[in-house]
Amino acid sequence: MEVEATLPQEAQSSDLGPGPDPVTDGLSAAILAEQEQPSGDAGSGDGAKRRGRPPLHGMYSKAAGSDGKRPVLPVKPADGSDALPESQMVAGPATRVAIPPELLSKVICESLTLGENGIAYALEGQGKLAGLTSEEIAPQLQRARLGESRKQLVADLAPYIAQEWGLDVEVSPTVAVCLILLPWAGGATMAYLTLAGLAKEKAAREKAKERRL
């Protein structure tokens, strides 16, 4: 009697080899795309804009408050944050230093005195080079002097003269010092040239005297 051996269905299927893989490629790709998609508004549409730090201007740019010559150095906030307040990025106008009007009048008066002395030295030197005596030169020197009262009047009128001609009345201390030193330097130069001329004239006279002897 022949007995037909039957294998279980599972064994038969295993012997026939692996069957076709289930179709899962589409589902895996969808899950992977969902995980890689950024959350929030960054990838929601074409009109979404990313927020970032504002642009930083250079130290010499006008937008930072520089005049193109002096840099604007940023100051880091005390709280340690990277954001700089706008008040620290923009440089304010520099404070101007000017001398008071009464001191300006004194400077003008002193400048006129120095100029007057320089003119007197030049005239006296020319007179002595011409062979004139001190008594002959003195009247001419007196006429050339401006006088204290006139110098003071000119000094008091100087600010109004500047306003009339559209000049700046406020004078810096540096300009005030130059108004004193420049006439002084001119008077010193005239005195030196006068002494040099007198020395040269005296040397010529002595040389001529020795020749006669």
In a domain, 45, yes or no: no
pLDDT tens sequence across 157-192: 988 888 888 877 788 899 899 999 999 998 888 888
Helices (H), 62-145: 86-89, 101-129, 134-144
In a domain, 82, yes or no: no
In a domain, 34, yes or no: no
In a domain, 175, yes or no: yes
- How much is the pLDDT for 178? 93
How many helices (H) and strands (E) would you count in the chain? 7, 0
Cβ-based neighbours of 60, under 8 Å, separated by 6 or more: 66, 68, 69, 71, 72
pLDDT tens sequence across 81-126: 555 555 445 555 567 788 887 888 899 999 999 999 988 888 888 8
- How much is the pLDDT for 11? 46
In a domain, 130, yes or no: yes
In a domain, 18, yes or no: no
In a domain, 168, yes or no: yes
| Domain housing 118 | 101-212
Could you give the number of structural domains in the chain? 1
- Of 39-43, 71-75, 196-200, which gets the smallest average pLDDT? 39-43
| Average per-residue pLDDT for the chain | 73
111 exposure class (CB count in 10 Å sphere: 0-12, 13-18, 19+): buried
Task: Give the C-alpha separation, 185 to 193, whole Å.
Answer: 12
55 exposure class (CB count in 10 Å sphere: 0-12, 13-18, 19+): exposed
- Give 20 or 170, the one with higher predicted confidence: 170
Task: Give the C-alpha separation, 202 to 206, whole Å.
Answer: 6
- How much is the pLDDT for 112? 93
